[in-house]
Chains A and B, each alone.
Chain A
Amino acid sequence: MSLIAGKAYTFGNNIDTDQIYPGRYLELTEPEEIARHVMEGADSSFPERYQAGGIIVGGTNFGCGSSREHAVIALKTAGVKALIAESFARIFFRNCINLGLPLVICPEITQHVEEGDKLEVNLETGTVNNTSKDRKIQGEELSEFVLNFIKAGGVKPYYKEKNL
């Protein structure tokens, strides 16, 4: 769980949730249907060309805009293994924690990663290893509070057990 490997798909700054999951699909409620439109607003060819197991790399303020949890459901259900961005918007960050989508804040990541590079992410230390370029990039360590929820697959298992 704490070491995640995958191919990089790169995006720019301020990727908003309309780009991750366009508003016209908000009425969908089934995760598999939602996942069919992942990142479609940013790149209409993405749902076609994306191969499950990839890692999405973004610039600053990734996930800004609307609070729609569909954005994280789409990424997670499509098989995105981790997100790395220079910074994340607040509600999106919370949604990732809640649904257990691993993420790393890495302030210089876009300078060190190109589309298709092979990455290894260490969630515990916040380190990203770009094995295609033989380069290690140090991101921020997640707080224990956040890491525990991500490792547990989000908050749902915790509350489910509590409410048994």
Chain B
Amino acid sequence: MPPGTPAPALAEIPALELRGIDKRFGSVHANRAVNLSVARGSVHGLIGENGAGKSTLMNIVYGFHRADAGEVLVNGHATNLHAPHDAIAAGIGMVHQHFMLVENFTVLENVILGVEGGALLAAGLARARTELAQLARDYALEVPLDETVADLPVGLQQRIEILKALYRRADILVLDEPTAVLTPQEADALFAMLRRLRDEGKSVILVTHKLREIMAVTDRVTVMRQGAVVANLATVETSPRELAEKMVGRPVLLRVEKAPAQPREPLLSVRALEVRDRFGVARVKQASFDVCAGEIVGVAGVSGNGQSELLETLAGIRAPTSGAILLGGRDLIAERLDPRARRKLGLAHVPEDRLRMGVVASFSAEDNVILGYQDRPSYRRGALLHHRAIRAECEKMMAEHDVRPPSPRLRITAFSGGNQQKLVLAREIESAPEVLLVGQPTRGVDIGAIEFIHRRLIALRDAGKALLVVSVELEEILALADRILVMHAGEIIGEVPRAEATEERLGLMMAGVKREADA
């Protein structure tokens, strides 16, 4: 029995228990009488759609928010959590989705940040070094202590966050969407690490919206919907289908059925496209590919490997340093066509980050459906905008694309992520494009809407259009694409037909391992 294992009597008491947690933000009821019990030495999954209240709950646990009602018990003792340092003192550590690391500090400096232990750093650093060596041995969490964080891969940076929490003597670790930035292999390594921590007696809370992760690593799972806990299950006794149903509140299809693609002539051709950022770093290196009528080409890759730049360059938002983009016999680069001109040629674009680029957050839904199409004659009456025609068009889009509530005058941010995305998709599809570029089709979109959006994209393919889909969700690429391009460090490292694609093979390519030579 390793040292530090709690006495059997203590093991009966949950490491963390939430009783009747209630929280409102204005009129939004973010948490409704939530009860949650995390056993010592277990990995506990917390799953729910965006806006289900997972983040609010975890922010209460970490002391960012205070609950309106209810209590938090750590090891059976009621604990007041006013600020994150209270949570740290109670042994709760948090690994945020966006790492809280100082990029140009070394690993060691990052670990002791905030717990330097004195005015002079030397003593603290020396103490930390020995202690971290011990931790690394106990949990097999090796990290190069003297490297600068910016030079390390994301998987290692995440490991530093975990070490930071352990160094602060955390017994309860909360991980918020930890796999968003990882390749499948890195995610598997993370899960192995979590299992090890569990075996050493730590308690882990894994917050995620991915069913696969819940099934892969957790012991128990709590499902939240609309601020309330709807199920608390042992992972071995449940299935992805049951979890999805509980998350959404109705039966869902996890994968949309589709017929094999019938690709025809290429509609969009990219030749030797090279994109550099303003520092002169190559973001897209010599990309060449075609997208044909009647097929969906998926671009897979870990976030930040040039997919975004590729998409923006195709859409005309970013200028390439060299190369050609051919559409309908015209070279979009040589003619320096802007996004508006490209739309007129039948190239529509659903951007990756809709709130940053795809919509104007302060505008109503109807003002957003003309974004990019504000010059269209049917939206005008003389020099003026034809507000009534615009509203009618918006209502039509909302009806056909199941946007709820169907209120054109409502501010776009009052819609859920899924409904915003459906409206953006509607706007671009209704422009009857020949080629549709889609970035992260279902980012921040609830499961119910995912099914709908996938259906729409496949229907567009079956209507003979060419689609290019960029997604960091491998499952999505596998569900949609007929042909998969994998990007790594700006390079299209390989192309795989859907039939030959497996998560393992794509994962290796995403990590930069080139495809075995074609025999």
| Co-assembled chains A and B | no
Q: Which residues of A contact B (CB under 8 A)?
A: none
Q: Which residues of B contact A (CB under 8 A)?
A: none
